[in-house]
Structure 1
């Protein structure tokens, strides 16, 4: 590792935007992209990192200062401001070893395809950042870079296996054949699946609501800028701001929540052409095989169930943050709790009642995990200089992908007793989960009338 670090130290010292621009450009050239396209993709990634830093700085200077006033006035200790997923993963990319996860994910995918351990060609390059995040968190907690990279590699393997055992479930929910879902958040199913099976026994599948009609009643209040405005006004009001300052903060908070997804799209813009080239590269080397194309979760975003539960959960999230003892996180950027709600949608096949129950039970765990990791995100920001945080202010990620699993491996990497016990429980639950999901997926395959012969015909 010392040799690798010394080899790349000159580039690393230039900062993540420059360094990762070069890395992505080289990766594109390896996949036989034209130089102009590879350079454009790399530079767009650098621009995205700069953009995320600017938006987070803006959020901290405006919303962060108000949240500190909120803490002072109420006496509630919420010293960690939730960034949400775009800034959190953008910050993870500034970690000095982040570049290693590109080749690790690609090599893992190629090896598993070669040995026929997966049929998923994972082209979701944006979520390389999630492996970076896992590696960085484990490294910071354990002090061991190799351990961090090992767990991130294991995550890449499990994502591909999960994509294989859920491909027909995904097809039934979306109507899109030939795709799969290697997104890390669906590994939350390892812990959620047993709970869903219990709910299936207790709550009949007929107990449900029409999501689209309920969402239409919420209307414009589900828009990012309006949610940000309302939350900003609440923070300003309880922070003791006057009317003018409160309304100004509301508009600024609305701007922050509006800008996050806009800047995050730059990551997709940068990584999509590289993903396409990687797909062609792998297909040319694994001919006469039936593959699924591993995509990001938004192919399911058209379903109303997600958004309805996310919106209804916002006041519950804020109440939990105020009353849970030991929580230090003020939810803001992650109020749309994608990484809990979407896996629940996937596992319950869109049953609103079961999704709502699972969300209410799961939120406290996410707040505590966000509190646990807040010092480490703050330390990374301070070390890399990606974001400047005022004294006493911490950065957090509420609604983190696979919150429970990241906490467990972080504790296990320190060989704490709770970490060892939870890790063993996770291994047992993983076996139960993958066996159960594979059996259910085979049943869904039969329901859809799909045969292996038909699949081969489609592939040819």
Structure 2
């Protein structure tokens, strides 16, 4: 039976989001009472949008990844934990023995939470379930207990779903995606921290007056403030820091300019398909459960097209490399995941409502935390990779990644699972109190930012 479930799960995962989302959304649309033609057209449009978005993200990853490697080589960084990137992190996670159990368990848990009004998020982003499974897999190898791993996975999933509920009004009113939430563990768990930082910047005289956003850049700088020109300038700057020749610098500038223009258009196409599904879901819920609201949980990729996010992410590439070089505790060599910094900085930017200056400050603090967690959990990540038979790159003895190390809730739980380890347990208690306290402190901030929204 377990092998049958594993085969079915692997078949769905191997098809990928672009192939399965049209099928899932078509079925979802039919359940909601839409016609077959309308449901299929919506699902197919979403699949096309995701395909285009993945192509643009691939262009960004290839271009930024190569430039980042050149910058690292020029600096001569020699750190002993290699950032292998999220695709390898996902592959290792799905290869763990607990993964096949956690996929249906977390999905059913999500349905139960919805049924009893304990979340408003229905997470249909099955291909990013690895972010919900990764904490459980790490805890499994830390404790060798499948039950502790499952319990911790469900606790983590519950927290992520509640964070997705809390931030959904920002997804609607800042990013323009109504009815959508982002239960993306390694991104949304930074929201309480970045909203707390935003409050801190509000209290610092002078700094609280600085507002640099995509709109006023365009108004003040004209052509040079447009997204395509910002991409061109940042690409040229990155190429210069990488030591490229003039031809490669120009090519990178054009590629980054293309990313700034193409990503929003792919997201617009994706939302064209999601809109009728979201409307149908809203009508369905209102008829059967008056006053209840349900969000469709999607990949955070749908918001990475925002000009302020791409701008902050590109600026953060050299800054992250610099932080890795100067932070005394850091042992992570940033590499593969530098290309996915647009995901890492989502809530750094959203908390500041698109203020690029504040977004950068938030992102710098966030990356300092990420580098600390990557270093702290590098040994356990390496143990898990060895256990599933991961072939280490030549010369690498330990691995981790920016994406894998963005799971704040995982770090807290790992410190709390062994009360006999007094220093770690104390660190976990402090981390839990700080994280919970910051979230409680800013719990109403999204409502204040977007008073027209219905917040949790």
Q: Distance in 2 between matches of 1:293 and 1:352?
A: 28
The match for 1:42 is none
Q: Distance in 2 between matches of 1:327 and 1:116?
A: 42
Structure 1 pair 144–383 and aligned structure 2 pair: CA distance change class (3 A): same
Q: Distance in 1 between matches of 2:391 and 2:228?
A: 38
Q: Distance in 2 between matches of 1:220 and 1:86?
A: 28
Q: CA deviation at 1:351?
A: 1.9
Q: CA deviation at 1:118?
A: 1.8
Q: Is the Cα contact below 8 Å between 2:138 and 2:384 reproduced in 1?
A: no
Instruction: Please say which of residues 420-429 and 327-336 is displaced more in the overlay.
Output: 420-429
The match for 1:40 is none
Structure 1 pair 421–195 and aligned structure 2 pair: CA distance change class (3 A): farther
TM alignment of 1:130-209, pairs within 5 A: 130-184=131-185, 185-202=187-204, 206-209=209-212
Q: Deviations over 1:96-141 (max 9, x none)?
A: 2111222222222111112112222222222211011111122223
Q: Count residues in correspondence.
A: 382
Q: Distance in 2 between matches of 1:93 and 1:389?
A: 19
Structure 1 pair 161–433 and aligned structure 2 pair: CA distance change class (3 A): farther
Q: Is the Cα contact below 8 Å between 2:192 and 2:442 reproduced in 1?
A: no
Secondary structure of the residue that 1:208 maps to in structure 2?
A: coil
Q: Distance in 1 between matches of 2:454 and 2:411?
A: 40
TM alignment of 1:376-391, pairs within 5 A: 376-390=380-394
Q: Distance in 1 between matches of 2:5 and 2:295?
A: 36
Q: Is the Cα contact below 8 Å between 1:306 and 1:345 reproduced in 2?
A: yes
Equivalent of residue 428 in structure 2, options 420, 423, 428 = 423
- Residue 310 of structure 2 is aligned to residue 307 of structure 1: yes
Secondary structure of the residue that 1:334 maps to in structure 2?
A: helix
Equivalent of residue 439 in structure 1, options 440, 444, 447 = 444
Q: Distance in 2 between matches of 1:292 and 1:20?
A: 23
Q: Distance in 2 between matches of 1:189 and 1:418?
A: 27
The match for 2:84 is 83
What residue ranges of structure 2 are gaps of 5+ in the alignment? 29-39, 41-57, 218-224, 260-269
Q: Distance in 2 between matches of 1:362 and 1:451?
A: 28
Q: Distance in 1 between matches of 2:447 and 2:320?
A: 37
Equivalent of residue 349 in structure 1, options 324, 346, 353 = 353
TM alignment of 1:321-340, pairs within 5 A: 321-336=324-339, 337-340=341-344
- Root mean square deviation, CA, Å: 4.8
TM alignment of 1:242-391, pairs within 5 A: 287-288=288-289, 289-336=292-339, 337-390=341-394
The match for 2:125 is 124
Q: Deviations over 1:234-262 (max 9, x none)?
A: 7xx9xxxxx9xxx9xxx9xx9xxx9xxxx
Q: Distance in 2 between matches of 1:311 and 1:21?
A: 31
Q: Distance in 2 between matches of 1:355 and 1:32?
A: 39
Q: CA deviation at 1:317?
A: 1.5
Q: Is the Cα contact below 8 Å between 1:408 and 1:419 reproduced in 2?
A: no
Structure 1 pair 9–299 and aligned structure 2 pair: CA distance change class (3 A): closer
TM alignment of 1:89-128, pairs within 5 A: 89-128=90-129
Q: Distance in 2 between matches of 1:434 and 1:182?
A: 16
Q: Is the Cα contact below 8 Å between 2:234 and 2:315 reproduced in 1?
A: no
Q: Is the Cα contact below 8 Å between 2:188 and 2:347 reproduced in 1?
A: yes
TM-score (norm 1): 0.66
Q: CA deviation at 1:302?
A: 2.8
Q: Is the Cα contact below 8 Å between 1:120 and 1:293 reproduced in 2?
A: yes
Q: Distance in 2 between matches of 1:430 and 1:87?
A: 28
Q: Is the Cα contact below 8 Å between 1:138 and 1:410 reproduced in 2?
A: yes
Secondary structure of the residue that 2:377 maps to in structure 1?
A: helix
Structure 1 pair 221–89 and aligned structure 2 pair: CA distance change class (3 A): farther
Q: Distance in 2 between matches of 1:377 and 1:186?
A: 21
Structure 1 pair 19–145 and aligned structure 2 pair: CA distance change class (3 A): farther
Structure 1 pair 325–163 and aligned structure 2 pair: CA distance change class (3 A): closer
What residue ranges of structure 1 are gaps of 5+ in the alignment? 1-6, 38-54, 238-242, 259-268, 453-460
Structure 1 pair 178–144 and aligned structure 2 pair: CA distance change class (3 A): same
Secondary structure of the residue that 2:336 maps to in structure 1?
A: coil
Q: Distance in 2 between matches of 1:129 and 1:451?
A: 30
